[in-house]
Chains A and B, each alone.
Chain A
């Protein structure tokens, strides 16, 4: 099993550009989530999904969109990148809900100039 995979590993954008961060898992997990990590702020939940077709907002959803068309994939879209979105982004999945162990992907380091 590959576990949770994320692409790209690094990305540099200019202000106003859009892009999609990819996340996939092969563990048949229902629950998937996106976090951003900034120095001194810990991990903050952006969006999460409890199953295909169901998504909800987390703590910091503004500027991001998600969709969940399959169990395996949970892409995160930046609509119009801003310097404040410079961060490390982690995707995570768990068997069923946040009550279970979350498996994290390796992360995407995004810089917005």
Chain B
């Protein structure tokens, strides 16, 4: 049930772009993106709801294709502060309809 993320890790130079993908074998109702820096708690980036939505925050944007059951996170002109592990997450329907599962994460390293 866990979403699949690719790549597992990526190394960039400052100013370069990156794409992180998230896909699921189950129907996706929404996709959440979080970033976690080493030794810290995950921090929310954005939520995408079904409908082909695309969102952006500064130079980080994401798309959600519910038919393909996948989402992509786009990091443009990466900054040193973008380094960390990125997790996608999604809802799993159950008794209360509010279970949640994260992908294994993509480690991003931005070098000067």
> Do A and B form a real pair?
yes
Render B62-104 as a binary contact track against A, CB cut-off 8 A, 1 for contact. 0000000000000000000000000101010011111111111
Render A41-80 as a binary contact track against B, CB cut-off 8 A, 1 for contact. 1111100101000101011000000000000000000000
The number of residues on chain A lying at the interface, defined by a beta carbon within 8 Å of a beta carbon of chain B, is: 27
The number of residues on chain B lying at the interface, defined by a beta carbon within 8 Å of a beta carbon of chain A, is: 26
Render A14-57 as a binary contact track against B, CB cut-off 8 A, 1 for contact. 00000000000000000101010000111111001010001010
**8 A Cβ contacts from B30-85 to A:** 30, 32, 34, 40-44, 47
Mark A residues whose CB is within 8 Å of B. Answer: 31, 33, 35, 40-45, 48, 50, 54, 56, 58-59, 90, 97-107
A41, A54, A98: the one contacting B99 at CB < 8 Å is: A98
